[in-house]
Amino acid sequence: MKIWALAATLAFAWLANPAAAAGDPAAGQAKAAVCAACHGADGKAIQPSYPNLAGQHAAYIAKQLTDYRDGNRVNALMSGQAANLTDEDIQDLAAYYAAMPKHENIAAEENLTLGEDIYRGGITSAGIAACGACHGPAGEGNPYAAWPVISGQDAQYTSDQLKYFRSEERANDPNAMMRGVAKRMTDAEIDAVSNYIAGLHATAE
């Protein structure tokens, strides 16, 4: 399926389910105490292998928590944490983190040019489209399609997720979109674009 067609399909599905963003941030705050141990009280992860959640789209957070709960995404820690969450809990947590101000990050200089080339222009030789085609020029994603905010995310987390998609250890991407991309990327390309994404806020102006 073409990227634009999938985006339209996902957007329609989101609009048909307005509860996807109907959580209560205040209720989510009370439920998020245990989450802070890994994701920080301010939504900034305590180590680079964990995701920053502050400012992430509610629809995306809700999808990931639901996938962890239902076994569509597996992680030894998160699967256990999500196992007993109700749909209401998930929506409240998603609303809480979505309402937080997003954190910025800094990219290293080492492979920044390669990372920018991949993000903005794709990898023509491998038939890979620009990352910005779905995630936007500033990495802000698409809340209606539940595509995540990725700018400012720690490079290690982004790199890990791309490699999990490549190995199919992670397989909860609609229509295998991310798996199809990651399978055609080398470690060096993944690490470079992950580094660029970490500091994208500073380069998208």
Q: How many domains does the chain have?
A: 2
Is the confidence at residue 26, as pLDDT, over 50?
A: yes
End position of a domain, from candidates 63, 98, 133? 98
| Domain boundary pick from 47, 64, 98 | 98
User: What span, in angstroms and rounded, lies between the C-alpha atoms of 80 and 40?
Assistant: 18
Residue 172 lies inside a defined structural domain of this protein? yes
Q: Is residue 136 part of a domain?
A: yes
Q: What is the CATH number of the domain that holds 199?
A: 1.10.760.10
Residue 147 — φ and ψ, nearest 5°? -95, 135
Q: Which whole-number Å values give the CA distances from 185 to 88, 95, 127, in the listed order?
A: 38, 34, 10
Q: Tell me, yes or no, whether 5 lies in a domain.
A: no
User: Token pair of 16, please?
Assistant: 């048909």
Residues 92 and 125 in one domain: no
Considering only 13-17, 70-74, 129-133, 135-139, which range has the smallest mean pLDDT? 13-17
Q: How far apart are CA 95 and CA 38, in angstroms?
A: 18
Instruction: Quick: pLDDT tens for 116-159.
Output: 999 999 999 999 999 999 999 999 999 999 999 999 999 999 99
DSSP letter at 43 equals S
Average pLDDT over residues 16-31: 75
CA distances from 200 to 36, 174, 205 (A): 25, 24, 9
Q: Which domain holds residue 88?
A: 18-98
Lowest mean per-residue pLDDT among 1-15, 41-55, 169-183 = 1-15
| 117 & 68 share domain | no
Q: pTM for the whole thing?
A: 0.88
Does any domain span residue 11? no
